[in-house]
Amino acid sequence: MEKEKNIKIISSNLLSDNWGELRKVKYDFKLNDGTWQQQEREVYDRGNGAVILLYSKEKGTVILTRQLRIPTWFNGNEDGMMIEACAGVLDENDPEECIKRETQEETGYKITEVKKIMEVYMSPGSVTEIIYFFTGAYADDMKISEGGGVEGEYENIEVLEIPFTQALQMVESGEIKDAKTIMLLQYAKINDLV
């Protein structure tokens, strides 16, 4: 038996097609009582992404990055800089390939083994993006470059090696406010990775 559709798209108008695609969508939505209600929302599609927490159990450390996130500046983050786990937008590569590439570009570590731990909608009320979460162990001999991002993309990424306990304290103090990073740090603590 085919599930009855509960959404009927009336219109979908492109508002912006710059870094991502922003649409104004009008649709009918079938409520639990069987009646239909018309709603209108803006939907932002910037593609899907991947994020990884690099950790060293031996050293008791994690690798994070620090970079400018201009939207945070507009919402009160004084310098716009954010401390985050290494992440990137998927292109034609699958999430695992993407995160290995991003890790090397952003942090300078060449990793071969990663573990996928979950897939998450980070802001489902307005953004289509699913983020694929990974963890991966690193060692000093995996460092093949300084990292910092791809030349020409002007990412200006600072690579940080931080004691795990300090990273957890930085969440409590508000120095780390990035949701995906907080989730990965909590996952690492719950699963005794570091």
Question: Is 0.85 topped by the overall pTM?
Answer: yes
Q: Do both 16 and 88 map to the same domain? A: no
Q: Is 102 annotated as a binding residue?
A: yes
- Mean pLDDT confidence for 18-46: 94
Given the structure tokens 């162990």, which residue do they identify?
Answer: 137
Write the pLDDT tens digit of every residue in 133-166. 999 999 999 999 877 766 666 578 899 999 999 9
Domain count, the chain: 2
At residue 11, does pLDDT exceed 60?
yes
Cβ within 8 Å of residue 73, ≥6 positions away: 79, 80
What is the three-class DSSP state of 4?
coil
90: domain range? 49-190
Residue 178, pLDDT > 60, answer yes
Residues 109 and 94 in one domain: yes
What's the distance, CA 54 to chain centroid? 14
For residues 100 and 41, membership in a common domain is answered with no
Q: Is 179 annotated as a binding residue?
A: no
Query: What is the per-residue pLDDT for 1?
Result: 39
Distance CA 184, CA 28 (A): 37
Known binding residue 175? Answer is: no
Q: Are residues 88 and 143 in the same domain?
A: yes
- pLDDT over 70, % of the chain: 94
Residue 161 among known ligand-binding residues: no
CATH number at residue 160: 3.90.79.10
**Residues 53 and 36 both lie in one domain:** no
